[in-house]
Amino acid sequence: MVLLKEMFGVEKPILGMVHFPPLPGSPLYDESGGLQKIRETAMRDAEALVKAGFDGLSFSNEGDRPYLSNVDKTTVAVMASIISEVSSHFKIPFGLSVLADPEAAIAIGAATGANYVRIFLSWVFVGDWGIVDPGAGALQRFRRNSGARNMKVFANISGHTEPLGGRSLKDIAAGAVKFGLADALCLAGTTAGSPVSEDDLNQARAGSFGVPVIAGTGVNVDNAEKMLRLSDAVIMGTSVKVGGDTFSPVDPAKAAAFMEKAKSVRQSLL
């Protein structure tokens, strides 16, 4: 895909997740560790992913369970500060998501110079944190008015939620592109670390109007060939964590082993 090649300098890029520990104000926040622990965790995981050869980074407030559809100002400020600090050390493209507040993600992305944001953009879904009703019209206007018109939008169209209304995934994908003006489509499994089904990826492709289709969860050494064949990029994290636990640190050895396999597979597909 031309867009992804321009963004990441390679076909079928592999993007690694930098999951933040719980941020101030969230139920599991570690007051004794404070912001320094969060910075150190993000820096350590980013360094491990970059050294392993990942093509880009994707930051997320994964530790802020249960998630909010309207995060507080502290979350926005802390994420912007730490993303700016960490990304300045590693000269590779990066993006972010904010669970579960797409407007906050756009604001942070604009402030940090992110290459993309991963957000729910259009249609209506229901998830563990309630109704997801993002409002593409307002979000795209907010992006433009924030001065981040060149920041790409990777639109979530599946995963961790169920779409309302019985609409097919193909039609949800088409709507995200033609109505929502998504730059790419991102799919996920039922939870962090769970794979995206082949059928879902094929439906998204059928409705994509040629924009990239990204597998956003569940990619691992064993299914890397399949996922890279079916998608134009992958965003992954859980399978390269210690013990395969989403909330554990990145395991440098696992990250390196995954990228060795992924680069070999990618070369065979191009």
CA angle (42 as vertex; 12, 257 as ends), nearest 5: 45
Cβ-contact 23, 63 below 8 angstroms? yes
Distance CA 67, CA 90 (A): 28
Cβ-contact 173, 207 below 8 angstroms? yes
- In tens, the pLDDT along 210-256 reads 999 999 999 999 999 999 999 999 999 999 999 999 999 999 999 99
- Superfamily for the 2-262 domain: Aldolase class I (3.20.20.70)
Where exactly are the structural domains of the chain?
A: 2-262
3-class state of residue 188 by DSSP:
coil
- In tens, the pLDDT along 41-81 reads 999 999 999 999 999 999 999 999 999 999 999 999 999 99
Tokens representing 252? 């440098």
Burial of 171 per CB tally in 10 Å (0-12, 13-18, 19+): middle
The model's pTM is 0.97
Q: Any idea of the CA torsion for 173, 179, 180, 183, to the nearest 10 degrees?
A: 70
